[in-house]
Amino acid sequence: MGLFDKLKNIIKKKEDTEGQETLEKYDKGLEKTRDEFVSKLNVLGIKYTKVNEEYFEELENILIMADIGVKTVMDFMDRLRKRVKQENITDTNYLKEVIVDELFIIYVNGENITSKINMVDNGPTVILVVGVNGVGKTTSIAKLAYKYKNEGKKVMLIAGDTFRAGAVEQLKIWSEKTNTLFYGKENIDPAGVIYDGLEEAKSKNVDVILVDTAGRLHNKVNLMKELEKINKVIGNLIPGAPHETLLIIDASTGQNGIMQAEAFKEITNITGIILTKLDGTAKGGIVLAIKEAVNIPVKFVGLGEKMTDLITFDIEDYIYGLFKDMM
């Protein structure tokens, strides 16, 4: 049984269980990308009944337009050509299944990828959240707070973005809306605020601490020093923390989002990515491009405005969302 058939079986099982709701979110959230991408792929299959060089060239353009990224597309096309030759594939209809196979393989790449958050058993789990301003950082923190609060955990938000006008107040409002604890002060050293916030969180036996940070990427040296100091303060107070450093990227920015991921990877240890606004773009291929460019797993995706629309990333559900019309 090929990978495409295995994926179909996995999806079928999910459709028959509690996984149905999540599948529906991926289905709806990736609609724009699917309409743009798969419809072009289907037209290509009608235009060419046999696999030839013209077919490959047009396919390459379709993949690049889906924002999968030039390097990823080139690697993918090499693999596809090789497989077509080895397996003597001539039928473009069958080749569509092979395309799904290979895109899945490119993301997984033989690794055991997990989207699980590293939760600790003893003491609080500290999640540091980074990203440039305007990508949905504060609302993502609020959605994570809502998620963990609903799982029965005691949650605190710490406002480490202390100098941006309104940032502390904005996070405070979200803590009130999500009924979670809050710590923050304006216009003082972020590391100091985070230190005091962590002390308070420990005294109140908090389970999950979500720490906001500044998003000033234009001055990488200063941000690097600030994040180094923050990491040191957190690690001294809570050994092994931060347990996760999540980078927020707006999916609709496409290649610009990949550049942000590369820049942040240079200045701090990113453990996972949250892709926001995936439902509002036809550039859903960025999921594959980011993994290829920085080799950091996507841990959550934003597939809507509601508090419950930030969901754990699942590569099988994502492939379903992209190719459901072919399955």
Average pLDDT over residues 262-267: 93
Is the CB of residue 184 less than 8 Å from the CB of residue 197? yes
Q: What is the pLDDT of residue 37?
A: 85
- Is the pLDDT score of 173 beyond 80? yes
Band of pLDDT at residue 171, cut at 50, 70 and 90:
very high
pLDDT, residue 110, reads 66
Q: What is the mean pLDDT of the chain?
A: 91
Query: pLDDT tens digit string along 304-315?
Result: 999 999 999 999
pLDDT reported for residue 18: 67
CATH topology of domain 3-108: Four Helix Bundle (Hemerythrin (Met), subunit A) (1.20.120)
pLDDT confidence of residue 65: 85
Give me the sheet containing 125-130, strands edge to edge.
181-184, 155-159, 208-212, 125-130, 244-250, 272-276, 298-302, 310-312
Residue 1 has pLDDT above 60, yes or no: no
Quote the pLDDT of residue 91.
92
pLDDT category at 3 given cuts 50, 70, 90 is low
CB 267 within 8 A of CB 220: yes
Residue 95 — φ and ψ, nearest 5°? -60, -30
Task: Enter the DSSP assignment of 50.
Answer: B
Residues 32-91 have pLDDT tens digits of 988 888 889 889 989 998 999 999 999 999 998 888 888 889 999 999 999 999 999 999
Residue 232 has pLDDT above 70, yes or no: yes
* Cα 261 from Cα 225, distance rounded (Å): 18
CA distance 43 to 114: 35
Tokens at residue 173, please? Answer: 């409002």
Instruction: Note the pLDDT of residue 216.
Output: 81
Mean pLDDT of the 284-289 span: 89
pTM: 0.93
Please determine, for residue 177, whether its predicted confidence score (pLDDT) is greater than 70: yes
CATH placement of domain 125-326: 3.40.50.300
Answer yes or no: same fold for 3-108 and 125-326: no
- Which residue from 310, 277, 314, 282 is spatially nearest to 298, judged by alpha carbons? 314
pLDDT at 2: 65
Confidence (pLDDT) at 87: 95
- Could you read off the pLDDT of 102-149 as tens digits, one per residue? 888 888 876 767 788 999 998 899 999 999 988 999 999 999 999 999
Show me where the domains of the chain are located.
Answer: 3-108, 125-326
Torsion 159-163-164-168 (CA) sign: positive
What is the reported pLDDT for 269?
A: 95
